[in-house]
Amino acid sequence: MNVLAIGASKNIGYYSALRFLDAKCNVTFMLRSPSVFDSDETIHSSYKGDALVESDVKRAWDEALTHGPVDLVFSSIGGSPLFSLRKGIFISPGNLVSQAVLNILCTMPKQSPQPKFVTISGSGLTHRGHAALPFPLKRLYATMGIPHKDKLGAERAIAYCAGWKWDTETDGPGDDFMGEGWKEREGLPAAGTLKGVLVVRPALLTDGICRADSKDKAYKVQEEEIGGWTVSRKDVAHFVADAVLNRWNEFSDKIVNIGY
C-alpha cells in the first residue's frame, strides 16, 4: 500500500506507521518538523508541511503520488494540550484538527478508487458518548471543551462528505466554529460522495504496552459506546493497522469506539 501519514511524528500515528512499514507499505510522512526523525533509521520519506496550510497538504499529496495512487491517508493530528484557569485544557489554535481534516478533504486527489481515510478522534465527545463515560471521566472531560469541540468539528466535516447523519443541535459544533461557507470550499467532496472512511474514537489514552501483541481480544472495538476507562496508544495503532490491512470490509465507512 501507498500511505500518506499526517501528524505521525509520535504516539498513535507513529506506532501505526511503523506497523505499515513492517507490512512493506510505502509511507510518506507530512511533518511540521521532519528533524524529529533525524536519528530514526526506520523513516525514509518525510515532507515538511503544516496541515493548517492547504497548499502544504496539497504538496504532501503530490509527494505521496510520486509512488503511485495513494491507497490510504491516515490523520492523527493533535495539538499539545495547554491549561488555563479560564479555559481549562485547550489547544492552540482551537480548530487545529477540524481545519486540518478539511484541508485533507479539499486536496484529496480525484482518483478511482478514492484513498481510504482513517482519522483518530476520541470517545465521550458526543452527547451519547459523554453519557456512557464512567463518572470520574465525565468530570475530567468537562475540562476539555475546546479540544473535544475541535475533534467533533473534524467528525462533522467527514460526516457531511460521507452523507452520515449528524445532529448539530445536540453535538455541534456550529458553522461559526467550522468556518463561514465551509461546505462550499473548493475541492470539498460533495455530500454523500466520500467513501472508505474510518473514524476511530479511543478511550482515554495511555502510554501502556500493546496488549494485542501478546494476547487475543486485548481491547474492544464496536460502533456502540464502550463506556470504558482507557486504552494504550500502541493498542489503537495495532487496531488501525489490522483494520486497514486485514479487515477493511468490516470497518470501512464506520465510526468505532475502542477501549479496554
Domains of the chain, by residue range, sit at 2-259
Which pLDDT tens digit goes with each residue over 242-258? 999 999 999 999 999 99
Instruction: Give the 3-state secondary structure of residue 29.
Output: strand
Report residues of the chain scoring pLDDT below 70.
44, 79-92
Which pLDDT score, from 0 to 100, does residue 228 have? 85
Strands 254-259 and 220-222, sheet pairing:
antiparallel
2-259: CATH superfamily = NAD(P)-binding Rossmann-like Domain (3.40.50.720)
* Dihedral sign for Cα atoms in the order 207, 211, 213, 214: positive
For the entire predicted model, the pTM comes to 0.91
Q: Which of 79, 90, 77 is nearest to 120 (CA)?
A: 77
Most distant CA atoms of the chain, gap in Å: 49
pLDDT score recorded for residue 34: 75
pLDDT at site 91: 66
**pLDDT above 90: percentage of residues in the chain:** 75
Instruction: Give the number of C-alpha atoms closer than 13 A to the C-alpha of residue 14, restricted to the C-beta side.
Output: 13
Which pLDDT score is estimated for 147? 84
